[in-house]
Amino acid sequence: MGATAIAIPYVVFVWWFSTGAVLALVGLAARHPSAFKWGTAAAFVAAVSGVIVSSRAAEDANAYCAFTCAILLWGTVEMSLLAGWITGPRPEPCPGDCTPASRVGFALQAIAYHELALIATAGLVFAVTSGAPNRLSWWTFAALLVLRQSAKINLFLGVRTLNDELLPQQVRFMRSYFAKKSINPMFPFSIAAATTATVLVAAAALGAKSTFDGVALSLLASLIALGLLEHGFMALPMPVINLWRWSAPVEPAMAAVAAIPAPVHVPPPAPAVPLARPMLNVVQPALEAERPAPPPKAAMSAQKNAAALARQRLEEQFRQAYRQARADAQAQAITGLAAVSVTPPVDPNTTAQGGVP
């Protein structure tokens, strides 16, 4: 019972850690290509050896070993694709002007060799476990193959969330074959099939007659359930990359962009508020309606001429009054001088009574 109880958390951990490990190792492939290739080949051989050894006995430990070796075997084949070693005869982006039928052909050519490698590896696992008491490695690899093919087809037909941020630089061309849509006709059937498989295998695990069968079926049911969850990630706007942020490689260009400080946001100035003119807008039409019509041009000319004549008369009257006042002043001055000149001089020796002392 204890071996069955830890099956679910074990599968969740292996699924999460193995995905992150593959992404982290692929990030090192460009810097150490030879060591990475030899390491991947050694892991492939070790996984196949583990599949063979674990298939010989139907025990709880063998169930965990078979499951883990199948995951390791799958990971080595996936690394060959993500590192750009095994892709297809045309590992290039999809032309933008191709027809839907040509798009299918280009997509197959982009990853054909990798698909053949997966099928060949599945055949190898089937062959080495055929007739063995423990065939969990085969069922695990087969479940991964079916779930991955379903995910690839749905990405090709179109899903809401692509999660293509996890693709390494070597296979970024595969983005051009993904389509972004709210849903595609195949997606509901994929969800229904994965849900049905999860329920059936889980029910078989609950009704297992032996501990080994319970453990093996629990591991398999948990894996299919996680495949169903991955399909759900494609329909929900969830940042899946956050689950493996610790292992996702960061490109130099992206790192340089991230190092640039964010610009300070300066809010734009508030638009000028126009002065309110309610009274003018209301009163002006009324004034314009009550304003009399302008007089004709002839009447305006006559008024201007009359005003000019009146101004000239006033100016002439002012000049005449000024000349008259000036003439009167000059006449008074002349009269005063004449009166002074005819007055006899006073003898200083005379007294006030006119006598001489």
DSSP for 284-339 reads HHHHHHHSPPPPPHHHHHHHHHHHHHHHHHHHHHHHHHHHHHHHHHHHHHHHHHHH
User: Would you say residue 279 lies in a domain?
Assistant: no
Q: What is the pTM of this model?
A: 0.70
Task: Note down the domain range covering 110.
Answer: 2-248
pLDDT in tens, the chain (357 residues): 567 789 999 999 999 999 999 999 998 888 888 999 999 999 999 999 999 999 999 999 999 999 999 999 999 999 999 999 999 999 999 998 999 999 999 999 999 999 999 999 999 999 999 999 999 999 999 999 999 999 999 999 999 999 888 899 899 999 999 999 999 999 999 999 999 999 999 999 999 999 999 999 999 999 999 999 999 999 988 778 888 888 765 444 344 433 444 444 555 555 555 544 544 454 455 545 555 555 555 556 666 666 777 777 777 777 777 777 777 776 666 555 545 444 455 454 544 444 444
| The total number of structural domains that make up the chain | 1
Residue 307 tokens, joined: 């005003």
User: Would you say residue 276 lies in a domain?
Assistant: no
d(CA 295, CA 292): 9
User: Would you say residue 146 lies in a domain?
Assistant: yes
User: Would you say residue 180 lies in a domain?
Assistant: yes
User: Would you say residue 122 lies in a domain?
Assistant: yes
Residue 183 tokens, joined: 């849903």
| 209 three-class SS | coil
User: Would you say residue 271 lies in a domain?
Assistant: no
d(CA 110, CA 94): 9
pLDDT value at residue 255: 41
Which residues lie across from 180 on neighbouring strands? 159
Cα dihedral 345, 351, 353, 357, rounded to 10, equals: -130
Q: Read off the pLDDT of residues 250-307 as tens digits, 9 standing for 90 and up.
A: 444 344 433 444 444 555 555 555 544 544 454 455 545 555 555 555 556 666 666 7
User: Would you say residue 109 lies in a domain?
Assistant: yes
Single-letter code of the amino acid located at 280? L
Output Rg (C-alpha) for the chain, integer angstroms: 54
Q: What are phi and psi of 180, to 5 degrees?
A: -110, 115
pLDDT value at residue 354: 46
User: Would you say residue 326 lies in a domain?
Assistant: no
Q: What kind and span of H or E run contains 21? A: helix 7-29
Listed in sequence order, the residues at least 6 apart from 174 whose beta carbon sits closer than 8 Å to its beta carbon are 110, 111, 164, 167
